[in-house]
């Protein structure tokens, strides 16, 4: 991982109304890729950022903690992105695009490809949202509807969460950081 530049703490909120993330992951960022900390082919998620050092040790990447900076922390609201995709005329904050890109990076990390129809829908949507946020305009000409786009996004979320290890409590004898 020497070609990767720095570690970023990524917060993931699944619930629409939740104020803070339910899960955190530590990932290295490079020129064009994101590499989450993993163990045995599974992405390591934490329910508490205080376990960062222990998660990094489990992944054999203690240097990740040294390069992570608080100002580089980002949050993704997956639940809100699904709601915006399903109901809103415009994605003002690029929630959908950012969620698609994050899920794409994480699915690549666990070597999972969405079914071709889901991939095609999400790629088409992401290409459009890169330059325009008007969802109503997109879906008036798209070959698929909002429900199909939501299904594709939800498939990716489900596929990802079957390939994670959630660490709510790591050995009580260890000192959290």
43, 111 Cβ separation under 8 angstroms? no
Task: Write the pLDDT tens digit of every residue in 96-144.
Answer: 999 999 999 999 999 999 999 999 999 999 999 999 999 999 999 999 9
Domain residues of the chain, as ranges? 6-167
Task: Write the pLDDT tens digit of every residue in 52-111.
Answer: 888 888 787 776 676 666 656 788 999 999 999 999 999 999 999 999 999 999 999 999
- What does pTM read for this prediction? 0.86
In angstroms, how far is CA 6 from the centroid of its own chain?
A: 17
Q: What share of the chain is helix, strand, coil (3-state, %, to 5)?
A: 45, 20, 35
112, 163 Cβ separation under 8 angstroms? yes
């Amino acid at each position: 991982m020497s070609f990767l530049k720095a570690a970023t703490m990524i917060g993931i909120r699944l619930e629409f109304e939740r104020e803070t993330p339910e899960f955190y992951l530590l990932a290295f960022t490079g020129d064009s890729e994101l590499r989450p900390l993993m163990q045995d082919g599974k992405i390591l998620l934490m329910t508490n950022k205080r376990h960062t050092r222990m998660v990094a040790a489990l992944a054999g990447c203690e240097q990740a903690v040294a390069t992570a900076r608080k100002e580089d922390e980002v949050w993704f609201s997956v639940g809100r992105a699904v709601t915006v995709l399903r109901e809103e005329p415009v994605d003002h904050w690029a929630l959908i695009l950012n969620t698609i890109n994050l899920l794409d990076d994480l699915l690549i990390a666990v070597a999972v490809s969405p079914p071709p129809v889901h991939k095609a829908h999400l790629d088409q949507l992401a290409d459009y949202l890169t330059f325009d946020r008007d969802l109503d305009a997109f879906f008036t000409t798209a070959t698929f509807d909002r429900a199909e786009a939501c299904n594709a996004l939800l498939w990716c979320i489900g596929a990802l969460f079957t390939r994670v290890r959630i660490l709510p409590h790591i050995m009580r004898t260890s000192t959290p950081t």
